[in-house]
Structure 1
Amino acid sequence: MNSSRNTVLEAWMKEHGYSSNSLADAVNSAVGDLTGRVGGLDGSSIRGWKAGRVRWPKSATRVALEKVTGLPATALGFVPRGRAPSPAPESPSEDAVERRRFIAAGTALAAASATHALGSSHRIGTSDVVRLQQRFTEIIVSDHRHGGRLGIEQKAAALADEALSLQNSGSASQRVRAYVYGCAAAFRSSAMWAAIDGRRYEDAIVHMREAQALAELAADPAIKFRIWSHAGTLYRHMGRPAEALAANDVARSLPLTRRDPLFASLGLARQAAIQGVAGNATATRRGFDQAQDAMDRADPSADRPVWMTSFYDQAELDSLALTGYLALGEYEKAEAHAHRCLAALRPHMQRSKAIATTRLACAQLGQGDMEPAVTTAMSIPDDAAAHHPRVARMLRSFHAKIHAVAPDSPTTSKWNEYAHTTWKESV
């Protein structure tokens, strides 16, 4: 029916010269920038939007559309699930002005704080939440590319603080305030993850506690899952498997894991990796089998947060299996999962590729295959080998083991020359 058509989107497309096909191409490209995998829209998808058959696009597609247009989805005539269409939609021109102010100020949050300092009234709305979500996506992209860097941790923590400042900058509905708290929790959980990846564990614990409190204020089950699942990983890296299992159990007990098998799969896979560190071979094998079964049952088209869709897939499951079996000393099985992981990794997962390659080298060395192990280890990019804390630590362990096994072999000499150049005599 004509009354259900998205006339706002149609008007925007006409004004900016977009056909259904050209808008689909632009959004697909933006999805690729955000997630590493180009979107799958076509002209018929956009026509479905205009006809009103799709009232609220999925999360990654929605963020990509907002990146292309510079407008929040609500300003383009879309209606969030559970909300009735508004008889007076937001004005796209007003949102365009607000976006220009946001860009000029550096962030929307800084602009909001400035407005508050001047004593002006400010209504915190959906467009503010969209901008926060876009900044969160930028953090996710940086993490996949570099991982563990102090700059990522500091930027994420600063954005969490700015999100909280936004709460005090004006009035907002209860729903919007919950979203802003959710964004603050997401930023703080990314700071926590960067600290874990950089082996700055005491800092990670501080971020974790702040993130947990913010997640309660947001009442967002997905971000609660992320934080508690990260807590399990934190304690695993700290060599505290009992606490790691307890934290990961909190994530796995959330109702979200019963509704969505993909969340269940991630919880099971991380649990199995912890069991590997704890030396429980039976629980490790059972956990990975259950994680694979849950992944196979998951709906790939379900609407999920960008942080989830951008990293958890078959490659990540195999990466966790590689971790678990390597810890158990089951090197042949670990190597098989390493090859599967590396073959399936998406191009933007550069940090994950470096870590998986390092673990592959360790699995090969564990089987006594020194030449392939050294060749694999030397294929790791120098930047990751020298500066990523987890990769550098594993390579130093690799260095010690190869010297213990065959200190005088030509292969060890080849490795020494590489290590000397890469680490500048720091091994």
Structure 2
Amino acid sequence: MKRRTLVGGIAAAAATAAAAPGAAGLRRIGMSDVGRLQKRFAEIIASDHRHGGQLGIEQKAAALADEALNLQNAGSATQRVRSNLYASAAAFRSSALWAAIDGRRYDDAKKHMREAQALAEMSGDQTIKFRIWSHAGTMYRHMGRPADALAANDVARNLHLTRRDPLFASLGLARQGAIHGTAQDRTSTRRAFDQAQDAMLRADPAEHRPVWMLAFYDQCELDSLALSAYLALGDHPTAEYHAHRCLSALRPHMVRSRAIATTRLAHAQLAQGAADTATATAMTVTATAATQHARVARMLQEFGAALRATAQGSSTVQTWTEHSATWKMAA
């Protein structure tokens, strides 16, 4: 009911503006306007991969979503253009959603999610519907609500798109595996990642896909999700294996992903009793990521607590304490 109300409200606003006096004299909106929005979207994606989770990224993406919607009211346009404008608005709002999730601002994320879902329905674009529902699944996973996470991720996985393009199927399955890991379902976790790997191998690299998909989903991301799942399961050797695979092939622009994978690797190493190695790994995380990325900062705080609990009074703890103090000064 809420989603129908929101969709109806957005549609009514657009219709009212189109029928307003003087609307006939407004300019023609075309695909060149859509192209400019898509360029801005690519910039948001690049900024997210560099910095991740920042409030500024969330706010900028939300403002660009409003800008895309305002174009609906700025002149006449074909149905194709209007659908693309709604898709652009949904894409920007989905990036605001992701930034809020990544920054652990879950109340804000839920608001972005609801509006993004409504806009995606109006656009008819299955790729952006997939992104939004897949993000919703990730949000609930981070919130410790695996049942809701699976339900949201299943909406993405059941879209016709996943039957047409194995790469989308692979991403849906990999995120399902991460959710199963959070739920402590070892068998389902392994099955989901096996299926995700198989689907990725079947995907045609020449297939046309949206910029957000091309920018992040590859073998490294699959290994990153597996790392998260096996770490949650307490299978630390397998988690470490996926961490090394992920880090060895990460693309240079994946700065946020590198910080997260490195921190998770440190956790996996520490859990296997390698305190010195784990500390050295954790110390390679940049000060910027350690102080400005909410997820990384929390995981590093948890790492420090675990290190003190397992190696209390050791020189390794002292080394970590001194190093982490420099991050606080940098902040």
**1:71 paired residue number:** none
CA distance in 2, matches of 1:117, 1:152: 35
Q: Are positions 1:169 and 2:82 aligned together?
A: no
Output the CA distance in 2 between the equivalents of 1:213 and 1:331: 40
Distance 1:121 1:162 in 2: 16
Spell out the pairing of 1:184-203 with structure 2 (5 A cutoff): 184-203=89-108
Matches within 5 A, 1:128-277: 128-277=33-182
Question: Which residue type is aligned with residue 337 of structure 1?
Answer: H
Largest Rg, 1 or 2: 1
1:282 matched to which residue of 2?
A: 187
The 3 A distance-change label for structure 1 pair 118 and 217 is closer
User: Which AA in structure 1 matches 2:62?
Assistant: A
Deviation of 1:374 (Å): 0.2
Unaligned runs of 5+ residues in structure 2 are 1-20
1:335 corresponds to 2:276:
no
Q: Structure 1 length as normaliser, TM-score? A: 0.71
Deviations 1:186-219 (A, max 9, x none): 0000000000000001000000000000000000
**Contact 1:334–1:360 (CA under 8 A) maintained in structure 2:** yes
**2:209 maps to what in 1?**
304
Correspondence 1:8-407 to 2 at 5 A: 120-407=25-312
Secondary structure (helix, strand or coil) at the match of 2:192 reads helix
Equivalent position of 1:84 in the other structure:
none
Change (3 A) 1:225 1:414: same
CA distance 1:136–1:425, shift in 2 (3 Å)? closer
Q: Supply the distance in 2 between the matched residues of 1:331 and 1:423 (Cα, whole angstroms).
A: 29
- Give the letter for the 2:319 counterpart: K
Instruction: Quote the residue 2:9 is aligned against.
Output: none
SS at 1:239 equivalent: coil
Aligned AA (1:344): A
Deviation of the 1:121 alpha carbon: 1.9
Deviation at 1:423, TM superposition (A): 2.2
Q: Match of 1:148, as an amino acid?
A: G
Return closer, same or farther for 1:259/1:283 CA change in 2, 3 Å cut-off.
same
1:48-100: CA deviations, max 9, x gaps?
xxxxxxxxxxxxxxxxxxxxxxxxxxxxxxxxxxxxxxxxxxxxxxxxxxxxx
Larger helix fraction of residues: 2
- Structure 1 residues 148-167: Cα deviation after superposition (integer angstroms, max 9, x where no partner): 00000000000000111110
Q: Report if the CA contact (8 A) 1:419-1:425 is conserved.
A: no
Distance 1:117 1:177, change over 3 A: same
- Worse-matched range after superposition: 403-412 or 369-378: 403-412
Q: How many Å separate the matches in 2 of 1:321 and 1:309?
A: 19
Residue 119 of structure 1 deviates from its aligned partner by 8.6
Distance 1:117 1:186 in 2: 30
Cα offset, 1:317, TM superposition? 0.3
| Helix, strand or coil at the partner of 1:310 | helix
Distance in 2 (alpha carbons) for counterparts of 1:267 and 1:366: 29
Which secondary structure does the structure 2 equivalent of 1:385 belong to? helix
TM-score, reference length from structure 2? 0.92
Q: Distance in 2 between matches of 1:234 and 1:368?
A: 31
Q: Report 1 or 2 for greater relative contact order, CA contacts < 8 Å, sequence distance ≥ 6.
A: 2
Give the letter for the 1:290 counterpart.
Answer: Q
User: Against the structure 1 CA distance between its residues 208 and 409, is the aligned structure 2 distance closer, same or farther, given a 3 Å change threshold?
Assistant: same
What value does the CA root-mean-square deviation take over the aligned residues? 1.5
How many residues of Structure 1 are paired with residues of Structure 2 in the alignment? Answer: 311
Alpha-carbon offset, residue 387 of structure 1? 1.5
Percent identity for Structure 1 against Structure 2: 69
State the distance in 2 between where 1:345 and 1:189 align. 24
Partner of residue 413, structure 1: 318
